[in-house]
Amino acid sequence: MIYKNTYITILFLIFCFGIKVPAQNNSKLELRKAYDLLYEDPQKAISLANVIIRKTKNHDEIVTGYVIIINGYSALNQSDNALSSAFKALDMVQDEKDQISKIRILGLIGEQFQLCHFNDESRFYLDQAQIIIEKLKISPDQKSIYSGNIDAIKGNSYKDDLDCNFAIEYYNKSIKSYASIKNNTSATNNLCLVYIEKADCLIEQSRLDSASIYIAKAQKIADRFSLKGYKLSAQYAEAKILSRNKKYAESTVLLVDILNNLEKLEDLHFRQDIEELLVNNYFNLNDYAKYQIYSNDLKKSRKMIESMHSRSNEESLKFILKNNKKPRFPSYFFVGFAAFCLLLLVFSIAKIKWNLKGNYFYK
Amino acid sequence: MPKGGYLNLLIHGFRMDFRINFISKFFGLFFCFFFFQNFNSQTKEEKLNIQREAQRLFRTDVKKSIKLYEYLLENSDGQELQKYEIGMVKLKLLNSENIEAIDLMFQLEQELLAIKNPDLHNQFHQLESEVFYYFGFKKVSDSIHKLSDSDSKKENKNNTNYLFNIPAELKVNPSSEKVSSRMIDAEPIERKLNQNIGLFTKAKYLAQLRQYYGSKNNQLQYMLYDKQLLDLQGLHLHQLKISRNYLVSKFSKLKQQRIEKVQNRIKKWSFGLSIIFIGMIGLVLYYPKNDKETIKKKSQVISDKAELRILEKLKDFENSEKFLDDSITITILAKHLDTNVKYLSTVLNNQKQKSFNLYINELRIQYITERLKNDKKFRSYKISYLATVCGFTSHSSFTSFFKSIVGITASAYINKLNQEDDL
**Distance of residue A102 Cα from the nearest chain B Cα, in angstroms:** 23
Q: DSSP character for A327?
A: P
Written as one string, the DSSP assignment of B313-369 is HHHHHHHHTGGG-TT--HHHHHHHTTS-HHHHHHHIIIII---HHHHHHHHHHHHHH
The DSSP 8-state label assigned to residue A324 in this structure reads S
- pLDDT for position A245: 95
CB atoms within 10 A of CB A39: 15
pLDDT computed for residue B231 by the predictor: 92
Amino acid at A30: E
> What residues of A are in contact with residue B259 (Cβ under 8 Å)?
324-327
> Residue B148's pLDDT is what?
67
Closest partner residue to A330 (CB to CB) among B136, B173, B267 is B267
pLDDT at A17: 44
What is the Cβ-side half-sphere exposure of residue A315, based on CA atoms within 13 angstroms?
19
- In angstroms, rounded to a whole number, what is the distance separating the alpha carbons of residues A145 and B381? 100
pLDDT at B183: 57
Q: Is the dihedral of CA B120, B121, B126, B132 positive or negative?
A: positive
* pLDDT per position as a tens digit, A221-248: 999 988 888 899 999 999 999 999 999 9
Distance CA B271, CA A312 (A): 42
Q: Which positions ≥6 away from B356 have C-beta within 8 Å?
A: B330, B333, B344, B345, B348
Whether A251 contacts A240, CB under 8 Å: yes
pTM of the model: 0.67
Which chain B residue lies closest to A300 (C-alpha atoms)? B172
Interface-testing mutation among B270, B285, B404, with chain A (most A C-beta atoms within 10 A): B270
- Across chain A, mean pLDDT equals 83
* Cβ–Cβ below 8 Å for A362 and B397: yes
Quote the pLDDT of residue A77.
78
What residue type is assigned to position B148 of the chain?
S
8 Å CB contact of A333 and B326: no
Which of B137, B270, B274 lies nearest to residue A314, judging by beta carbons?
A: B137
Q: How many angstroms away from the CA of B393 is the closest CA of chain A?
A: 6
Whether the pLDDT of residue A342 is over 60: the answer is yes
Whether B397 and chain A come into contact, CB under 8 Å, resolves to yes
**C-beta separation of A280 from A243 below 8 A:** yes
Question: How confident is the model over A247-289, as pLDDT tens digits?
Answer: 999 999 999 999 888 765 567 888 999 999 999 999 999 999 9
Nearest by CB to A329, from B270, B392, B401: name it: B270
- Which is more confidently placed, A199 or B94? A199
Separation of alpha carbons A22 and A42, rounded Å? 20
Q: A-contacting residues of B 9-68, CB under 8 Å? A: none
Q: Given this model, what pLDDT does residue B29 score? A: 58
What is the CB-side half-sphere exposure of residue B128 using CA atoms within 13 A?
26
| A/B interface, count of CB pairs below 8 Å | 147
pLDDT attached to residue B11: 42
Cα–Cα distance measured from residue B53 to residue A36, given in angstroms and rounded to the nearest whole number: 64
How crowded is the C-beta side of A289, counted as CA atoms within 13 Å? 0
Classify B243 in phi/psi space as left (phi over 0), alpha (psi -120 to 50) or beta.
alpha
CA torsion angle A255 A257 A262 A268 (round to 10): 20
pLDDT of A102 > 50? The answer is yes
3-state helix, strand, coil in chain B (%, to 5): 80, 0, 20
Q: Alpha-carbon dihedral of residues A249, A255, A258, A259, nearest 10 degrees?
A: -110
Closest listed residue to residue B330, CA positions, set B354, B294, B297: B354
Query: What is residue B75's three-state secondary structure?
Result: coil
pLDDT in tens, chain B (423 residues): 444 444 344 444 445 455 556 565 655 555 555 555 555 555 777 888 888 888 777 767 777 888 888 888 888 777 788 888 888 888 888 888 889 889 999 888 888 877 888 888 888 888 888 888 888 888 888 888 877 665 555 555 444 444 455 666 666 555 444 445 555 677 888 888 877 777 888 888 898 898 889 888 898 999 999 999 999 999 888 888 889 889 988 888 888 888 888 888 888 888 888 788 778 777 776 665 555 555 555 555 678 888 888 888 888 888 888 888 888 888 888 888 888 888 888 888 888 888 888 888 888 998 988 888 888 888 888 888 888 888 888 888 888 888 888 888 888 888 888 888 876
Asked whether the beta carbons of residue A340 and residue B281 sit closer than 8 angstroms, the reply is yes
- Cβ of A332 within 8 Å of Cβ of B270? The answer is yes
**Is B401 in Cβ contact with A295 (below 8 Å)?**
no
**What residues of chain B, 232 to 251, have a C-beta less than 8 Å from chain A?**
233-235, 237-238, 241-242, 244-246, 248-249, 251
Chain B residues near residue A303 by CB distance under 8 angstroms: 172-173
Q: Can you tell me the ipTM of this complex?
A: 0.79
Chain B residues in contact with A248 by the CB 8 A cut-off are: none
Distance of CA B48 to the CA centre of its chain: 37
Q: Which residues contact B79 (CB under 8 A, 6 or more apart)?
A: B115, B117, B120
- State the virtual CA torsion across B50, B180, B209, A280 in degrees, nearest 10: 110
Using CA coordinates, name the residue in chain A closest to B262: A327
**Degrees (nearest 5) of the Cα angle A45, A46, A48?**
65
Strands (E) in B236-335, as ranges, are none
